[in-house]
Amino acid sequence: MRIFFINSTFILTFLVLGCQESASKRGNGSPTDGAVLFRQYCVNCHGLDGALKTNGAKDLRYSLLSLEERILVITEGRNAMTGFKSILNETQILELAKYSQSLNQTTQNGH
């Protein structure tokens, strides 16, 4: 029984340390490719091409936001969209902002 107690404490400490470790280096070891990240974190609401509007998500094809504004929305979130600053690092957020711009159709179609 005593041994069990020591073991579980050890495992718990190990887990807590492990979480702190990954939180300090958040995003590391994960892809930085915007398209890959977008598929992982954004398609549920925005869809592959940005056109899906789950829960009132904006159609990214017609977003007029600048790169800086996109970074802000992705980092901090806005209304029904949650921010990603606790899961993604700045490089990943930048790549996502750029990728979301690449979905834009307003320039091509003259909307």
| 111 is a contact residue toward ligand HEC (CB under 6 A) | no
Instruction: Single out the residue of 61, 84, 94, 95 in contact with ligand HEC (rule: CB under 6 A).
Output: 84
Instruction: Say how many residues touch ligand HEC, by CB under 6 A.
Output: 24
| 61 is a contact residue toward ligand HEC (CB under 6 A) | no
Angle at 70 between CA 100 and CA 43, to 5 degrees: 40
Between 51 and 65, whose beta carbon lies closer to ligand HEC?
65
Instruction: Assess contact for 61 and 49: CB atoms under 8 A.
Output: yes
Smallest distance, Å, CB 37 to ligand HEC? 7
Give the long-range contacts of residues 12-19, CB within 8 A, separation 24 or more.
none
| 46 is a contact residue toward ligand HEC (CB under 6 A) | yes
46 Cβ contact partners less than 8 Å away, ≥ 6 residues apart = 38, 52, 53, 54, 57, 58, 60, 100
Q: What is the distance between the terminal CA atoms of the chain, rounded to a whole angstrom?
A: 71
| Interface residues toward ligand HEC, by CB under 6 A | 41-42, 44-46, 54-58, 60, 63, 65, 70, 73-74, 78-82, 84, 96, 100
